[in-house]
Amino acid sequence: MIHRDEPAGTFLLTGDGFGYALAVEPDGSPRHLHWGAPLDPADPPRLLADADAARIGSNTWSRPRAHTEELVTAGGARFDECALALADAPLDPRFVESEVDGDRLALRLADGPLVVTLRYEVRGPALVRGLELHNTGDEPVTLTRASSATWSVPWQVGYHATTLGGGYAAETTVRRVPLGPGKLVCESRRGIPGHAFQPWLAVDDDAGEDHGELWSVAVAHGGSWRIVAELSGDGHLHLTAGAGDAVLRLSPGARLRLPDTIGVYSPTGRAGLTHRWHDYEREHVLRRPDEVRPVLYNSWEATFFAVGHDDQVALARRAHDLGVELFVVDDGWFTGRDDDRGGLGDWRADPAKLPGGVAALADEVHALGMRFGLWVEPESVNPGTDLYRDHPDWVYRWPGREPTAVRHSYGLDFADPDVREWAFGWLDALVRDGHVDYLKWDLNRSLTDAPGYASRCHEAGFRAVVDRLRAAHPDLWLETCASGGGRADLATLSRFETAWPSDNTDAFERLAIQDGYAFVHSPLTMSCWVTDSPGYLTRRTVPLAFRFHAAMTGTLGIGGRLADWPEADLTAARTFVALYKQIRATVQLGRRWRLRADPDRTAVCHVGQDGGQVVVLVFARTVRQSHLAPPIRLRGLDPDARYRDTTTDVTYTGTFLTHHGLRPVLAGDYASSLVVLTRE
Ligand code: GLA
């Protein structure tokens, strides 16, 4: 809902559980008033008067109100981090007109020929803010900074920033650090969101799991991005968010729409923040938000590049016997792909490996009653392929220099319509002729050998190919992967049913990665596989139950060498998969509550959409005699209800489970427990 107070020049935007207010000042500059709890429509004019009163006390050493500017630009006496900057002129856009359309507000500003439109849209618990640029003049306009929004956080006594990141095989680890005066810059310059940080940042003063306020911002963009948290000397914090830095040239008449940024506020601690992000994703972002994801098998860790028709069929039979519903053949199925040095670009089934082609393998998988999926990496090419020989000009390269190889491949320029046409052509044919139901779309290199703005063009090209493929094959499902979790942003997730959060399938290490992924993203897209132990990345030995339980906190998959699994493990796996199918609607579509998230003990509980089923998963690195079984207090329960443990038949009250807790049976190292409760 948007309320406009015409005489005061204020706007109040109200969503599910939050309010956001701004004003247009008499001189035409937009001013930020509020982001946080919902307000009364009488509040924004009062906030404006109050902000004016605060200005009286300010000195004139610098323009004293950059923190209250709705859009910080480079020009005049402004020295803070700015969202927009021109290369060779100051920028101070002033109000031209506003337009309110339901839950959308557009504020058009202009400075000379450059028209800047601030776009706002209330979407459930989130506010979406974007920005459009239009060069109405006869001369080109060059920008050296083009972020999408400045978000102001209300004044706090202290500030902490929470980020989700780490690196390859350690993505989305939750980190919370105090902010001092100055800037915290979180960014990716890789042409994809990358592994170091999710394009997301949250700020709080003293929030905990169940209490305190948090303000968070995400950039919905699958390319390079940047979020800068700047704490000024007078204790105000603003977040500048958008696509990564680039010199952008707007030719006369050109329009440019910058990526959306999304702001979510929580007054109820981290749990409330997580739930608001999940609600936003489910209601406004994700594809097939109400459909549970199938139990998947992926061949990567079982066969790596040694894909063969008969072996894959044998694997598919074993997977099907465990209850798997979707069988995905990973890398290695196409010509020249015996390792990661060749093949990318020549997307034909290797006749030595798949003599009947992709369709023959797909048909066998279908005959078993499973869906069939295949791995692709459309944006890369290996030198030595026919594609590279025929089109050396399709890769990113600086004039006169050799392109940079990353994992032995070069980057294909998806901004080039010929490249996009080629990519769509073979993907379309592969899906149709190969009887493919599901594609794992990978990218194992960062964008190199191109100027900063190429990241924006590449991302737009990538989206265009994906959108065209989806339109041509409405039943196709897609998984996003970039060496694990390198491309799991909100723009990409709006096009892909599922994501591969990390190559790290060591169940113990993965708990932290999954904890961070599910901090903002719905578990519906969080693909988790049970693989062999010890695994190829860490060589850690983890019991089968722990591996299954860890994967059952998201969308369950299996990725082990099933031929080597002892009969007892196969029997246990069958039971786990069957149990998972009984709880997956709760895990994937219900509310996720973090109970403990430290390396020694992790616990999570999922409460089904109607509150009828509760799934509790507890993990311990080791169980010490002195600390055998501390109770785990549950969250999200109805205090007036009774819950029955479906294994022991013991019934508990909601108050008992909330205030005293469950005592799960744990023993030894890498111990885990799964408890399913039903409301009586
Ligand atoms: C990346 C992916 C893996 C696997 C390999 C195949 O590393 O993250 O899951 O698909 O590529 O080469």
Question: What is the model's pLDDT at position 80?
Answer: 87
Model confidence at 60: pLDDT above 90: no
Cβ–Cβ under 8 Å, residues 28 and 95: yes
Q: What percent of the chain is predicted at pLDDT more than 90?
A: 92
Q: How far is the CA of 484 from the centre of ligand 1 (A)?
A: 7
Tokens of 637: 């329960």
Q: Give the dihedral sign, CA 312/317/322/327.
A: positive
Q: Shortest CA distance to 283 belongs to which of 494, 496, 485? A: 494
Model confidence at 273: pLDDT above 50: yes
| Ligand 1 first shell, C-beta below 6 A | 300, 330-331, 340, 375, 442, 444, 481, 483-484, 500, 503
Question: What is the model's pLDDT at position 361?
Answer: 98
Tracing tokens 């693989």 back to the chain, one arrives at: 531
Mean pLDDT for 123-139 is: 98
Q: How far is the CA of 219 from the centre of ligand 1 (A)?
A: 25
Residue owning the nearest CA to atom 6 of ligand 1 = 331
Cβ–Cβ under 8 Å, residues 336 and 382: yes
Residues 6+ apart with CB under 8 A from 569: 544
Q: Which atom of ligand 1 is nearest to the CA of 482?
A: 8
Q: What is the dihedral of CA 517, 519, 520, 521, to 10 degrees?
A: 50
Q: How far is the CA of 99 from the centre of ligand 1 (A)?
A: 47
Q: How do residues 160-193 score in pLDDT, each as one tens digit?
A: 999 999 999 999 999 999 999 999 999 999 999 9
Model confidence at 143: pLDDT above 50: yes
Q: Indicate the top mutation candidate among 300, 303, 480 to test ligand 1's pocket, ranked by most ligand atoms within 8 A of CB.
A: 300
Distance of alpha carbon 626 from alpha carbon 86, whole angstroms: 64
Question: What is the model's pLDDT at position 410?
Answer: 98
Q: How do residues 199-247 score in pLDDT, each as one tens digit?
A: 999 999 999 999 999 999 999 999 999 999 999 887 889 999 999 988 9
Cis previous bond, 501, omega within 30:
no
Q: Which atom of ligand 1 is nearest to the CA of 503?
A: 8
Q: How do residues 529-560 score in pLDDT, each as one tens digit?
A: 999 999 999 999 999 999 999 999 999 999 99
Q: Indicate the top mutation candidate among 339, 380, 503 to test ligand 1's pocket, ranked by most ligand atoms within 8 A of CB.
A: 503
Q: How far is the CA of 344 from the centre of ligand 1 (A)?
A: 13
Q: How do residues 570-609 score in pLDDT, each as one tens digit?
A: 999 999 999 999 999 999 999 999 999 888 899 999 999 9
Model confidence at 56: pLDDT above 80: no
Residues 6+ apart with CB under 8 A from 193: 199, 221, 222, 223, 225, 482, 486, 487, 488, 489, 492
Q: Exposed/middle/buried for 568, CB within 10 Å: 0-12, 13-18, 19+?
A: exposed
Q: How far is the CA of 353 from the centre of ligand 1 (A)?
A: 19
CB atoms within 10 A of CB 322: 21
Distance of alpha carbon 387 from alpha carbon 229, whole angstroms: 44
Q: How do residues 85-101 score in pLDDT, each as one tens digit?
A: 999 999 999 999 999 99
**Backbone phi and psi for residue 167, each to the nearest 5 degrees, phi listed first:** 180, -170
Model confidence at 464: pLDDT above 80: yes
Q: How do residues 277-325 score in pLDDT, each as one tens digit?
A: 999 999 999 999 999 999 999 999 999 999 999 999 999 999 999 999 9
Model confidence at 62: pLDDT above 70: no
Structural element, H or E, at residue 501: none
Report CA 675 to chain centroid distance, whole Å. 29
Q: How do residues 598-640 score in pLDDT, each as one tens digit?
A: 888 999 999 999 999 999 999 999 998 766 678 999 999 999 9
Q: What is the DSSP secondary structure assignment for residue 166, as one 8-state letter?
A: -
Q: Shortest CA distance to 172 belongs to which of 203, 206, 190, 199? A: 199
Local structure of 641: helix, strand or coil: coil
Q: How do residues 511-532 score in pLDDT, each as one tens digit?
A: 999 999 999 999 999 999 999 9
Report CA 652 to chain centroid distance, whole Å. 37
Dihedral class, residue 182 (left if φ above 0, else alpha if ψ from -120 to 50, else beta): left
**Model confidence band, residue 54 (pLDDT cutoffs 50, 70, 90):** low
Model confidence at 67: pLDDT above 70: no
Cβ–Cβ under 8 Å, residues 322 and 570: yes
- 340-357 burial: b if 16+ Cβ within 10 Å, else e: bebbbbbbbbbeebbeeb
Distance of alpha carbon 608 from alpha carbon 617, whole angstroms: 14
Model confidence at 66: pLDDT above 50: no
Residue owning the nearest CA to atom 12 of ligand 1 = 331
Model confidence at 63: pLDDT above 50: no
Q: How far is the CA of 483 from the centre of ligand 1 (A)?
A: 5
Kindly report which listed range (59-73, 258-272, 610-624) carries the lowest average pLDDT score: 59-73
**At residue 652, what is the residue type?**
Y
Q: How far is the CA of 109 from the centre of ligand 1 (A)?
A: 46
Question: What mean pLDDT, rounded, does the chain reach?
Answer: 96
Q: Indicate the top mutation candidate among 331, 334, 502, 510 to test ligand 1's pocket, ranked by most ligand atoms within 8 A of CB.
A: 331
Question: What is the model's pLDDT at position 235?
Answer: 85
Question: What is the model's pLDDT at position 659?
Answer: 97
